[in-house]
Amino acid sequence: MTAPVLSVSDLVVSAGPKFDIVRGVSFDIAPGEILGLVGESGCGKSMTSLAAMGLLPSGIRVSGGSIQLNGTDIIRLAPHQRVQRGCGRMAMVFQEPMTSLNPVLRIGEQIQEAVRVHDRAASPPARARELLDMVRIPDATHQLRAYPHELSGGMRQRVMIAIALACRPAVLIADEPTTALDVTVQRQVLGLIRELCDSLDMGVLFITHDLGVVAQLADRVAVMYAGGLVETGDVVPLFAAPRHPYTAGLMACLPDPNSDDPMLATIPGSAPRPNEIKQGCPFAPRCSRVDDICRRGAVPITFNDSGQAARCHFPLTCEAPE
């Protein structure tokens, strides 16, 4: 197994005293691997990614754990400090392609700006064109002179990826990069990310709420609920046999047009807000397998044979005999 490029362990992000948004998250990403971090809104997945990028909003800070990029602890370093210390090879693509580009600067300027920061040897215009080619934007020379508002959402997201690639990242964080796009366009952008991940051998942390996207794109999956990871594992076994009741519930919720059952499975209730989380398993109030023990103390992580980890007292056993 190759060494992870990004290693997050026991990350805690707080918005104030006794107000933890991310509660002890750990994961590793290997080069050329896409880790799908999946969870519902407010579960802390975006804060995890922003913490990793050093872009937490003011008032929110990392209060525990470590984040290592190629073995260097980069916690609490803002991106420009990482560049100064030579560990800046991490980039991020955001959810909203419409607002994530500066409206008054041409595409070319915005890409070249990133090139200048990271790649002093390269000629910015040439490199910018190269980057646009990499993200398969046709007619690159012309598009470099375009303003963001002249491009479609899908194109903008490609530009965002081009900007991210400017630092030749070891790790690319993509925070719901396709949520705002139409499905047909989403498919194209996902394909691009897969290809770049493979060809550039980068680690990708792909954050999404969409299990379908994770299933088709990610190599490994981490499921997040109420600020903590509930389950991690390789994509194939995890989707074949989720171990955490929450993961299983989520999958069941997805409408399957091929099923004849008019009703969908549901998870009763809704996810707690960070300040409402009580002792014990945060999923306990909604869990069908809940027992007294779930409401007390820390929940242990259990592993199965295929390395699938779940933080549950009563993980679902595979139907297949062990």
Q: What share of the chain is helix, strand, coil (3-state, %, to 5)?
A: 35, 20, 45
Size of site (CB under 8 A) for another protein: 86
Q: Strands (DSSP E) along 70-181, which ranges?
A: 72-73, 90-93, 171-175
Residues 76-115 that bind another protein (CB under 8 A): 78-80, 82-83, 88, 91-92, 94, 96, 99-105, 113-114
d(CA 213, CA 197): 16
251 lies in the binding site for another protein (CB under 8 A)? yes
Residues in the chain: 322
**Unique residue bearing structure tokens 């470099």:** 144
Report the residue from 239, 306, 314, 318 that binds another protein according to the rule CB under 8 A.
239
> Over the range 292-309, which residues count as b (16 or more CB within 10 Å of their CB) and which as e?
eebeeeebeeeebeeebb
DSSP 53: H
41 lies in the binding site for another protein (CB under 8 A)? yes
190 lies in the binding site for another protein (CB under 8 A)? yes
Residue 297 Cβ, how far from another protein at the closest point, in Å? 25
- Minimal CA–CA distance to 219: which of 234, 230, 208, 206? 234
Report the residue from 3, 126, 265, 298 that binds another protein according to the rule CB under 8 A.
265
167 lies in the binding site for another protein (CB under 8 A)? yes
Report the residue from 61, 194, 290, 306 that binds another protein according to the rule CB under 8 A.
194
Binding span for another protein by CB under 8 A among 11-19, 22-30, 255-263, 301-309: 255-263
Residue 131 Cβ, how far from another protein at the closest point, in Å? 12
d(CA 52, CA 79): 10
211 lies in the binding site for another protein (CB under 8 A)? yes
Q: Work out the number of other CB atoms within 10 angstroms of the CB of residue 195.
A: 13
SS3 7: strand
253 lies in the binding site for another protein (CB under 8 A)? yes
The smaller minimum CB distance to another protein, of residues 128 and 296, is found at 128
Residue 64 Cβ, how far from another protein at the closest point, in Å? 23
Binding span for another protein by CB under 8 A among 1-9, 63-71, 263-271, 305-313: 263-271
d(CA 272, CA 51): 21
141 lies in the binding site for another protein (CB under 8 A)? no
